[in-house]
Amino acid sequence: MPIKSICCLGAGYVGGPTMAMIASKCPDIQVTVADMNEQRIAAWNSDTLPVYEPGLDAVVASALGRNLHFTTDIRNAIAGADLIFVSVGTPTKSFGIGAGRAADLRYIESAARLIAEVSEGHKIIVEKSTIPVKTATAIKSILAANSPHGATFQVLSNPEFLAEGTAVEDLESPDRILIGGETTREGNAAVEALASVYARWIPRERILTTNLWSSELSKLVANAFLAQRISSINSISALCEATGADVDEVARAIGMDSRIGPKFLKASVGFGGSCFQKDLLNLVYLCESFNLPHVSEYWRQVVHLNDWQKSRFVEKIVRSLYNTVSNKRIAILGFAFKKDTNDTRESPAILVCRDLLLEHAHLAIYDPKVSEETIRQDLLSAGVSPDLIASNVEICSDPYSAVTHAHALATLTEWAEFRTLDLSRIYDLMLKPAFVFDGRAVLSLDALKAHGFEVFVIGKGL
Ligand code: UDX
Ligand code: UDX
């Protein structure tokens, strides 16, 4: 049976853009995105979307009110749908068994219970959230045990591989779509029903079908491999700084080997984002649970290296500024975890700023898309005291006011606008010697040196 009505639980960074793309490509399918957060739903229905993504406004506008709807009426959205995506958050557990590693599945479980309670007839449930392997079994048993109207369900896994900042491109033309389902007649039919939605705009050969567990595990493994490449090049960045090699030259040289490939070899102050660390920790926990300590230790190192990269960046700043940053103004350019997003989850900027604040630095922070409220909240959640935030953090509306009378400037996000900064103006505004710590290699080393800055670039040294 062709799908006529889709609902998605969770209007976040994944659910919102993904459903907007489906609605825009399939005008005959009604797509309803439901979320319990009223503010977020109101924002999706307004001119200022809650998620900043290049090109997303146009995609949403093309379908909003026609066949794309955002609502807080979760029950009705579920009741009217043939196919339900579950895209609620799955943060790392902060308490109890598996704290700091396992995924907190409470939102997934409550979504499953609600679906069971409200549904009639036959429905396809699609796991869009990243979840530990075998979660589908848990969802199935909750659905089976709690359906008062005798509804029947098929559970599919359809992980999302979009990256923030390029979500629209990634949804429009993904490398692959992965759909995992039960290898039964009903399972195959459900997989085919979902595949035929994507096939409206994605070539069939890019739609990959697997069993449920392969699909669930592939998402964790894809993110673990991507994060591992960054930790690998970041480990080499430290060696480059020590030896005088240039990490960009090394990355280029190894990346031209077609077996290695050129992508995801950019050394940086560390990776951030909602997925990499969470999924790595999940994989670590999974391996622990299956009594594979060697495998779990192997992947844990990818996270350790990332933490070390952030702390050694802070150490570099403190050491260079004559071992004290107390009461010194440091301009922070960029707070988002990467360019072209307003998302700050796990952003390396949070820990770098926290540690500088604990050294009593004064921070003047500028980010083109992240709000003042988010920055202050992130620092608070990272354990910085409200008093220290109030007295030592200034949020600036442009880079030049941030650098005025600053001892140092640190770039923590690779925003394109930083590449065209007026370096001589910045040099004039800063105290001397003027230090630049380029955590994203976003500025030109030669130009900085020519202007008289003292420069540290990740992977290139001073
Ligand atoms: C998604 C996936 O859910 C996560 O597993 C994956 O690793 C990354 O992508 P994301 O869309 O980025 O997460 O999360 P978020 O922006 O936090 O959105 C989740 C939404 O679900 C929020 O708007 C929240 O209000 C909503 N939600 C959560 C519900 O509507 N009901 C709940 O019970 C819980
Ligand atoms: C990632 C995956 O790419 C995506 O497929 C998955 O669905 C969700 O997680 P995302 O977190 O949005 O996407 O961003 P990504 O582009 O992967 O960047 C993650 C982090 O790695 C960022 O902090 C980025 O700055 C950093 N990074 C990336 C590097 O430091 N060096 C690189 O070469 C690439």
Nearest ligand to the CA of 114 is 1
Residues 257-308: pLDDT tens digits?
999 999 999 999 999 999 999 999 999 999 999 999 999 999 999 999 999 9
Q: What would the 3-class secondary structure string for 394-451 be?
A: EECCCHHHHHCCCCEEEECCCCHHHHHCCHHHHHHHCCCCCEEEECCCCCCHHHHHHH
Q: What is the reported pLDDT for 384? A: 98
* Residues forming a β-bridge with 123: 153
User: Helices (H) and strands (E) in the chain — how many of each?
Assistant: 18, 14
Residue whose pair of structure tokens reads 């797509």 in the numeric block: 31
Question: What residue ranges line ligand 1, CB within 6 angstroms?
Answer: 9-15, 35-37, 40, 87-90, 107, 110-111, 129-130, 274-275
Contacts of 87 by beta carbon, 8 Å cutoff, 6+ apart:
8, 9, 10, 12, 14, 15, 18, 128, 129, 160
Q: What is the reported pLDDT for 462? A: 66
Name which residue sits closest to atom 4 of ligand 1, judged by CA: 129
CA dist 65 → 32, 44, 73, 187 (Å): 10, 11, 16, 32
Nearest ligand to the CA of 51 is 1
Question: What residue ranges line ligand 2, CB within 6 angstroms?
Answer: 160-164, 223, 226, 230, 264-266, 268, 271-273, 275-276, 337-338
Nearest ligand to the CA of 89 is 1
Q: Which one has a higher pLDDT value, 427 or 445?
A: 427
240 and 206 in contact (C-beta within 8 Å)?
A: no
Atom of ligand 1 at shortest distance to CA of 11? 23
**How remote is the CA of residue 11 from the centroid of ligand 1, in Å?**
7
CA dist 310 → 231, 235, 338 (Å): 11, 12, 15
User: 88-124 burial, b for 16+ CB within 10 Å, e for fewer?
Assistant: bbbebbeeeebeebbbbbebbeebbebbbebbeeebb
**Which amino acid belongs to residue 236?**
I
Element (H, E) at 218: helix 212-243
How far apart CA 378 and CA 334 sit, in angstroms, is 14
Q: What percentage of the chain reaches a pLDDT higher than 90?
A: 92
For residues 185-214, give the mean pLDDT: 97
For residues 33-52, give the mean pLDDT: 96
- The lowest-confidence range among 93-102, 269-278, 444-453 is 93-102
Test site for ligand 1: of 7, 8, 9, 14, most ligand atoms within 8 A of the Cβ: 14
* Residues forming a β-bridge with 210: 180
CA dist 221 → 109, 131, 154, 233, 307 (Å): 23, 12, 24, 18, 20
**Which amino acid belongs to residue 372?**
E
Residues 344-363: pLDDT tens digits?
999 999 999 999 999 999 99
Test site for ligand 2: of 162, 168, 226, most ligand atoms within 8 A of the Cβ: 226
Residues 4-22: pLDDT tens digits?
999 999 999 999 999 999 9
- Average confidence score pLDDT of the chain: 96
Query: DSSP assignment, residue 204?
Result: G
**How remote is the CA of residue 16 from the centroid of ligand 1, in Å?**
10
**Does 138 have pLDDT greater than 80?**
yes
Q: What is the reported pLDDT for 357? A: 98
89 and 119 in contact (C-beta within 8 Å)?
A: no
Atom of ligand 1 at shortest distance to CA of 103? 5
pTM listed for this prediction: 0.93
For residues 420-427, give the mean pLDDT: 97
Name which residue sits closest to atom 15 of ligand 2, judged by CA: 163
Q: What is the reported pLDDT for 101? A: 86
**Does 422 have pLDDT greater than 80?**
yes
Label residue 133 by pLDDT band (50, 70, 90): confident
Q: What's phi and psi for 390, nearest 5 deg? A: -65, -40
Test site for ligand 1: of 8, 88, 219, most ligand atoms within 8 A of the Cβ: 88
Q: What is the reported pLDDT for 130? A: 84
How far apart CA 48 and CA 196 sit, in angstroms, is 32
Q: What is the reported pLDDT for 150? A: 87
Q: What percentage of the chain reaches a pLDDT higher than 70?
A: 100
Asked if the peptide bond before residue 203 counts as cis, ω within 30 degrees of 0, the response is: no
- The lowest-confidence range among 91-100, 110-119, 204-213 is 91-100
Secondary structure of residue 198 in the 3-state scheme:
helix
**Does 108 have pLDDT greater than 90?**
yes
How far apart CA 126 and CA 180 sit, in angstroms, is 9
Task: State the alpha helices, DSSP H only, in 119-211.
Answer: 135-145, 167-172, 185-198
**How remote is the CA of residue 128 from the centroid of ligand 1, in Å?**
10
Residues marked active site are found at 275
Label residue 417 by pLDDT band (50, 70, 90): very high
Atom of ligand 2 at shortest distance to CA of 14? 7
How far apart CA 434 and CA 428 sit, in angstroms, is 9
**How remote is the CA of residue 12 from the centroid of ligand 1, in Å?**
5
